[in-house]
Amino acid sequence: MTNELVDFTLVSVALLCVGIYGLAVKRNALRMLFAVEIVVNAANLNLVAFARFVPDSGGQTLALFSIAVAAAEVAVGLALIIVAYRMYRDIDVAKFGTLRG
Amino acid sequence: MADAAFLALSVLTIASAIAALELRSLVYGAIALMGTLGGIAGFFLLLDSPFVAMFQIAVYVGSIAVLILFTVMLVRRELIFTKVEDRRRRLAGVGLMLVAMASLGAVIVNSGISGITTDEPAVDFREIGADFLVRYWPALILMGLVLSGAVTGAMVLARREDTEDDQRAG
């Protein structure tokens, strides 16, 4: 294995920062969901990278759990965006005035 | 040192992550997000974790990206193609991203983990299966319940109660 642990960690940091940028700047709810996905994937990459270099199977198991939980999170997030779009006819988070149903 | 496959994958992954956030059209953004998720699967293959890579492709590229594409198609067309954002906020965001990247990167490069390589054999996927069924079986059952609860909740949330109202409004 020619790649070092620090290379994978640096890629993970870059993805994390891109995701934070998206969460801080974007006002489109779907783009914010994209940014959350990027952050979650950076975390998964870290888990698997450290699990490879220890080596231990626990990191991969935790990454699998994390992927499954992220799938549930995306399903609920998209349903919430659909509900908000139906209420406000917009997916701009600045226009979501209240949480009232 | 990193090899060529690693460098190509990292360029692909980070570039498509930026493209997913910056492309004007949400549809192309969702496709670029697919590129990021596939690139992460490639990293998992480089890390000798083929099981996690296949899971990533099946769950993320196969289902989540398609779900996002369908949601994008439900939204009005002018919302897909317009980008509303504050210019100063955007500049501040880019600055925040670069500062965070540089400082976190410097911390990691100067920490003890730089220079770690491994010659040990990779973890066998049989061990992951044993982990799931022997050590973490309560978590596995709980995760199945969480998933089914989340999917049921999503369907209840997205159900249309007043189809006639929506048709009149749209």
Mean pLDDT of the region B48-61: 92
Counted across chains A and B, CB pairs separated by less than 8 A come out at 242
Q: Tell me, what's the pLDDT at B32?
A: 94
For chain B, the domains span: 1-81, 85-112, 124-162
Tell whether A100 is covered by a domain: no
Task: Quote the CA–CA distance of A8 and A46 in Å, as a whole number.
Answer: 7
Cα maximum dimension of chain B: 66
Which of A21, A82, A87 to probe the B interface (max B CBs under 10 A)?
Answer: A21
* Percent with pLDDT over 70 in chain B: 94
- Using the beta-carbon criterion (under 8 Å), do A85 and B93 form an inter-chain contact? no
- Chain B residues with CB under 8 Å of A11 CB are 10, 13-14, 43
B106 touches chain A (CB under 8 A): no
- Using the beta-carbon criterion (under 8 Å), do B59 and A52 form an inter-chain contact? no
pLDDT tens, residue by residue, B11-35: 999 999 999 999 988 899 999 999 9
Under the banding of pLDDT at 50, 70 and 90, the label for residue B123 is confident
Tell whether A42 is covered by a domain: yes
pLDDT tens, residue by residue, B79-98: 777 777 778 888 999 999 99
Nearest in space to B158 (alpha carbons), one of A76, A69, A93: A76
Mean pLDDT of the region B154-164: 77
Mean pLDDT of the region A61-88: 91
Which of B7, B11, B28, B43 to probe the A interface (max A CBs under 10 A)?
Answer: B43
> Residues A30, B89: contact at Cβ < 8 Å?
no
Mean pLDDT of the region A35-55: 92
Please give the CATH architecture assigned to the domain spanning B1-81. Answer: Up-down Bundle (1.20)
- Using the beta-carbon criterion (under 8 Å), do B147 and A72 form an inter-chain contact? yes
**Residue A16 above 80 pLDDT?**
yes
Q: What is the ipTM of this complex?
A: 0.91
Mean pLDDT of the region B55-68: 91
Prediction pTM value: 0.90
Instruction: Please give the residue range of the domain that contains residue A44.
Output: 5-95
Q: Tell me, what's the pLDDT at A84?
A: 87
By CB neighbour count within 10 A (0-12 exposed, 13-18 middle, 19+ buried), where does A40 fall?
buried
Q: Tell me, what's the pLDDT at B82?
A: 74
Residue A69: give its domain's CATH number: 1.10.287.3510
Tell whether A84 is covered by a domain: yes
- Using the beta-carbon criterion (under 8 Å), do A9 and B30 form an inter-chain contact? no
**Cα angle value B113/B54/A49 (rounded, 5°):** 5
Tell whether A38 is covered by a domain: yes
- Using the beta-carbon criterion (under 8 Å), do A21 and B21 form an inter-chain contact? yes
Please report the DSSP string for B112-148 in residue order: TTTT----SPPPPHHHHHHIIIIISHHHHHHHHHHHH
> What is the tally of structural domains in chain A?
1
The region of weakest confidence among A81-95, B22-36, B43-57, B73-87 is: B73-87
